[in-house]
Amino acid sequence: MSGVTIISGERGSSPYTYENTARTRRAGGLVLHFHEAGPGDPAAPVLVMLHGGGPGASAWSAFGPSLSAFAPHFRVLLVDQPGFGRSDKPELDKDFFAYSADAVAALLEALGIEKAHFAGASLGGGACVRMALDHPGLVDRLVLTAPAGLALNLFTAEPTEGVKRLIEVNLAAEPTRAHLRGFLTSLVHDPALVTDELVEERYAQAVDPEARIGARHIGAAFATWPEAGMLWREAHRITAPTLLTWGREDRVNPVDGAFVALKAVPDARLHVFPRCGHLVYAERAAEFQRLVLDFLGG
């Protein structure tokens, strides 16, 4: 369920920075933090991108490097989901996917946005699925990267390696750098991508008190409403055209689960990236961006 960025892309050449795209807005009783960039055309289509979970997850850490590819074509909103980044971290009164979808729907209403494309990875993919189920009028097209809750593993035992590593981090009284390295390594196909610098960055975020509060609240919601996370049972109701993307070597949400999602969603197509783990949007950034632009261009 990770939102960790492994590959930074060409950040140095991008006109979009964390600071010049950062926004906050109160919506639905919450303060949500997000990043916004676009072509400046008020008629431009909107693309909402929702990150995955894990220590240090945020909209910017997952999709900041993608802004230079998508912002010339779309009004892009990278949203810190409730419990993550600089958004509020409340106790949840319903399952996480529904809570996040309702919060994002309220944000779009506050911004005067009537319809958008949605792209979500892992945990954020699950929130996008719930958005399509509970707020179908807001959703144009869906791009889902190894979405949580939509897959049903056919050949892989539960919990998967990546989920085990995440549980170890979240349950540790004091997470260690070894915990973080094990978790990060489970996300990627090439372990060389997990550098000492990356481990240090994510370790600082993993031990942040506010981040740990958010993780506890989200974990409690999944424990309280476990069946609500079984989104595959409702996937036949999704009406939006859907692009599923997966890494063949995904050790968090393995690719065998993708075929349940492909069969269940009425208007779905699947692209599997070889030599790629859970972070398709980072490990295969250029190819992922081309695929998404082609799909959303319709």
Residues tagged active-site: 278
Please answer whether residues 185 and 191 qualify as being in contact, where contact means their C-beta atoms are separated by less than 8 angstroms: yes
Listed in sequence order, the residues at least 6 apart from 109 whose beta carbon sits closer than 8 Å to its beta carbon are 27
For strands 75-79 and 46-50, give the pairing.
parallel
Q: Are strands 139-145 and 116-121 parallel, antiparallel or unpaired?
A: parallel
**DSSP symbol at 53:** B
CA angle 110, 111, 115 (to 5 degrees): 105
Burial of 112 (0-12, 13-18, 19+ CB in 10 A): exposed
Distance CA 89, CA 110 (A): 20
Which two structure tokens, joined as six digits, stand for 42? Answer: 């008020």
Two structure tokens written together for 111: 């911004």
Helices 209-224 and 196-206: angle between axes, nearest 10 degrees: 70
First to last CA, the chain: 28
Tokens 């035992």 identify what position? 157
H/E stretch holding 179: helix 177-186
H or E stretch covering 145: strand 139-145
